[in-house]
Structure 1
Amino acid sequence: MKEEIKSMDQNGVWELVELPDNCKRVGCKWVFKTKRDSTGNIERYKARLVAKGFSQKEGIDYNETFSPVSRKDSLRIVMALVAHYDLELHQMDVKTAFLNGDLDEEIYMEQPDGFIEKGKESWACKLKKSIYGLKQASRQWYIKFHDTITSFGFKENAVDQCIYLKISGSKFIILVLYVDDILLASSDLGLLHETKIFLNKNFKMVDMNEAAYVIGIEIFRDRSQGLLGLSQKGYINRS
C-alpha cells in the first residue's frame, strides 16, 4: 500500500484540496492481488488503489471511455513473423500504466483508507492524472501512450490500433501493446535497445528481457529450428 501511495506521489496523481461547494467526491478502495508466474508460483503481492468509477456521472465526470486492445489473432500473426524471420522478441511491463493518463475533467476523490491526512480529514484529492477504476482511465492511458510512441517514429497499424511499426533503413521493430504489457519484435538488437531506452525515459518500465509469458500465454522458442510455440497450459490448469 505504501508503495502504491509512493507511486501516486511520484506521478503527481492528485493534490489535496478543500472540496468546493456543489462538488461530490468519487469513492475509492484498496484491491489486493497475488501475482503468479506461468507455473503458478507467487511472484509478488500487490495493492492497488482503485476509484469507485460506478459513481461517476456521464457528461460531468467523463465523456469518452473507449480504448482499443490488441487482438489475439494479431499476436499470433506477429509470433509467426518472429519465427519466420528469427526476430528478437522481448517483453516490457508498464508500472502503474493508468496513472500516466492526463485528465480533461475535474474530479475529486475521497482520501484513501489508512492514508488520511491529520487535520485535513474533510479535504479531498483533486485528481490531476487518471487512476484505476475511473471510467476514462483506460482511454486516457492509450491516448498518452499513442502520442508518446508515434513521436518516436512508430506508425499505428491500420487494422489493429495497438500494433505499431518503426522502420529504420533495412531494420524494423514491431510493438504490440496489450493494456500495460508490451511485446517488442525486432530485426536488430540496436533498434530494440534504442526503443527500450526511449520507453524507460517516458514511463516507469520493468524490462523482462526475452518474452516467455505474456497475457497468460507461455512462449516457447527453438531458434535453431525456427520454431515458436504458444501454450495456455497454466491458464487451463488454474481454471
Structure 2
Amino acid sequence: MARGMFFACGLPLYFWGETVEYAAYIPNGSPSHANTNRASPLEVLTGKVPDLSSFVAFGSLSTVYRDPRKNSLQPRAQVGIFIRKCDERKEFRVFLKKDRLIIVTQHIKNIESLNEAHNSHLQRGMEFDVGNGTAASEGDDTMTSSPAFSAEQVAHNKRKKTWQRPRHVTRSTTRPPVTDGQQKEIAQEMVNHIVERDPLNYGEVRKSSKALEWSKAMEEEISALLRLEVFEVIKRPRDSKEVQSKWVFKTKTSAEARVERFKARLVACENEKKLGVDFFITFAMVMNMSTVKIVLALAVILGVPAQYGDVPNAYAQADKESGMDIFLHVPSKMAFIIHEIQKFGAKNPGELILRLKKKKLYGLKQAGRLWSKLLHEYLSEAGFEQCITDMCLYYKVIDENIIVVGVYVDDLLVTSTRADLIQDFFCNLSSLSIKQLGEVRKFLGMRVNSIESRGYVLDQEEAIDEILRDAEEFGQNRAHADW
C-alpha cells in the first residue's frame, strides 16, 4: 500500500517515512470486521468515531495561501502537495515544490482529489473544531517551516533540478522482464542477506547456513595467494615472532541487492606493531568522495558512461620491503597432509608457520603504501599524470581526447571522451589481473543509477540497512525522524 502511494505521488525518496505513516493511519481509522459494530481501531482506542471525510489522497495537489509580507506583488497562493492532516492540531502538512519546503498550515484549498463539496466541508472543519466547540483563531499565523530544512538547505535545493520520477521506474525501463522463478530467487537471496550477517570468524563460518559457500571462498583465497607466491611454508625457527592471521568475510551484492559472490580474505593482524620501530610510513590511495562525484559528472559531460574495475588480491601483488622477515600463523582451513609435514621436518602441523616471500598481505602496515607505489608506477609508465588537488586522480591527454582514472585502494573509476580508450586502459593493466566490471552500477557501497543523459543518482540504502541491522543486534530501538 505504502509503495503504491509513494510511486503514484512522485515525491522525493526522503518522504518514504511520511508515506508509511499515512498508510498506517488509513486502516486504523477505517471500519474493521474484527471489532464490535465494525468499529475502527481508533474508535476502540479513543471512544470517538473518526471523521472519514478528513481522509485525503496522499500526494494530492492543493492551493496554499502564502503571506506576501511586505512584497505586495508576490502571489498570494502557491501549489503544494498534501502530505497528511496533523492529529495534534487542526492543520495540514504540505510540501511546497517551488521552495522545497514543508509547512504546517490551515490555509489550504482546492485539493485535487476532492470535489467542491468535500473541499468546502474540509475547510469548514478546519474553521470550527467540533470536538471542543471552539473556533480557530483567524489572526494566528499557523504556517511554520519544518525544522529539518534550514535556510542554507532551501537555497541549495533551489539550485537542484526538480525530481522527475522514482529511480525504480527509471531502472525498470531498461531491465529485461523477470520471470516468477527469478523473482523468487532474487527475493530469497535478499532475505538471506538481510537475516544472516557476514561471519566474524572461522567458528561462525562452520555454524553458518552458507558454510559451503564460505569454505569455497576461503579455498579460492588460499589458491590465489599460493599462485602469487605470497608466502611459503617452513618449520618455525627459534625466537621467531609470528603475526596472527584472521579471515575477513564479506558478501558481495549487486546494485539490486542480489548476492553476487562470497568473498573471504586472509589478513595479517599487525595491530601491535609500533610506528618508528616496526614500520615507518603508511599510505593508501583513497580518493575523496567529491572526486568520485567529479569523475561521474565528467562522464555525463563527455557523454561516455563511467566504468569501474577491481584488482583482486591487490596488496598481495606488491613486493615487500627488503630486509624484513615476516612470519605468519597458519590460518584455519589450510590443512597439511602427513607427508607434507614430514617434508618440512616437523612432527605436527603446530610446528609449521608461513613466511612472507616477496609479496605483501592485507593487514600489514606497509601493504597499502607498497600497493599504491606499484599502481603509480604502472600508471606513470602508461603516460598518466597525477592531479594536483587529489593525488588519487590520474589523467592522460591523447591528442584531443582525455581519459580520467580515480583510484580508491584497489577500485578504479574510469571515464573518457571515447569508449575505446577505456577498453584499451583495462587491457594495458591486464598484468595486474584487473577485472573490468563494465558500466558503474555500484561503487564503494553506493548504488549508482544513471538517469538517461541527465546525470547519476547516488544512494547508500544498503549501507544504511547494515547500520540498522547492527544497531538492532545491540538492542537499539529505531526513532522516528520527522521532516
- Out of 130, 145, 149, the residue aligned to residue 375 of structure 2 is 145
- Out of 391, 394, 418, the residue aligned to residue 188 of structure 1 is 418
Amino acid at match of 1:172: I
Show the counterpart of 2:404.
Answer: 174
Show the counterpart of 2:445.
Answer: 216
The answer to whether the Cα contact below 8 Å between 2:295 and 2:414 also exists between their aligned partners in 1 is no
The answer to whether the Cα contact below 8 Å between 1:89 and 1:185 also exists between their aligned partners in 2 is yes
Cα deviation for residue 40 of structure 1 reads 2.6
Show the counterpart of 2:289.
Answer: 72
Q: Are 1:229 and 2:229 an aligned pair? A: no
Amino acid at match of 2:360: S
Q: Which has the higher helix share?
A: 2
Cα deviation for residue 169 of structure 1 reads 0.9
Greater relative contact order (Cα < 8 A, sep 6+) = 1
Amino acid at match of 1:183: L
Residue deviations 1:77-121 (CA, integer Å, cap 9, x gap)? 222221122133111111111111211132111222232433343
Cα deviation for residue 188 of structure 1 reads 1.3
Q: Are 1:157 and 2:387 an aligned pair? A: yes
From the superposition, tell whether residues 32 and 219 of structure 1 become closer, same or farther in structure 2 (CA, over 3 Å): closer
Show the counterpart of 1:199.
Answer: 429
Residue deviations 1:35-92 (CA, integer Å, cap 9, x gap)? 2223332221122111111133444542212223100011112222211221331111
Q: Percent identity?
A: 30
SS of residue paired to 2:424: helix
- Out of 324, 327, 330, the residue aligned to residue 108 of structure 1 is 327
Structure-1 separation of matches of 2:433 and 2:387: 25
Unaligned runs of 5+ in 1: none
Show the counterpart of 1:3.
Answer: 220
Structure-1 separation of matches of 2:227 and 2:363: 19
Amino acid at match of 2:380: T
Cα deviation for residue 153 of structure 1 reads 0.7
Amino acid at match of 1:187: T
What value does the CA root-mean-square deviation take over the aligned residues? 1.9
From the superposition, tell whether residues 206 and 27 of structure 1 become closer, same or farther in structure 2 (CA, over 3 Å): same
Amino acid at match of 1:235: A
- Out of 87, 111, 132, the residue aligned to residue 304 of structure 2 is 87
Amino acid at match of 2:242: R
Q: Which has the higher strand share?
A: 1
SS of residue paired to 2:306: strand
Structure-2 separation of matches of 1:68 and 1:189: 25
Structure-1 separation of matches of 2:398 and 2:407: 20
Structure-2 separation of matches of 1:136 and 1:238: 30
Structure-2 separation of matches of 1:152 and 1:16: 36
SS of residue paired to 1:54: coil
Number of aligned residue pairs: give it. Answer: 237
Q: Are 1:27 and 2:244 an aligned pair? A: yes
SS of residue paired to 1:16: strand
SS of residue paired to 1:27: strand
Amino acid at match of 1:115: M
Bigger mean CA offset, 166-175 vs 55-64: 55-64
Cα deviation for residue 233 of structure 1 reads 3.2
The answer to whether the Cα contact below 8 Å between 1:26 and 1:56 also exists between their aligned partners in 2 is no
Structure-2 separation of matches of 1:62 and 1:102: 15
Unaligned runs of 5+ in 2: 1-217, 468-483
Structure-2 separation of matches of 1:165 and 1:228: 21
The answer to whether the Cα contact below 8 Å between 1:98 and 1:138 also exists between their aligned partners in 2 is yes
SS of residue paired to 2:271: helix
Show the counterpart of 2:355.
Answer: 126
Bigger mean CA offset, 145-154 vs 34-43: 34-43
Structure-1 separation of matches of 2:420 and 2:331: 44
SS of residue paired to 1:47: strand
Structure-1 separation of matches of 2:335 and 2:457: 49
Bigger mean CA offset, 37-46 vs 8-17: 37-46
The answer to whether the Cα contact below 8 Å between 1:26 and 1:110 also exists between their aligned partners in 2 is yes
Q: TM-score normalized by structure 2?
A: 0.46
Q: TM-score normalized by structure 1?
A: 0.90
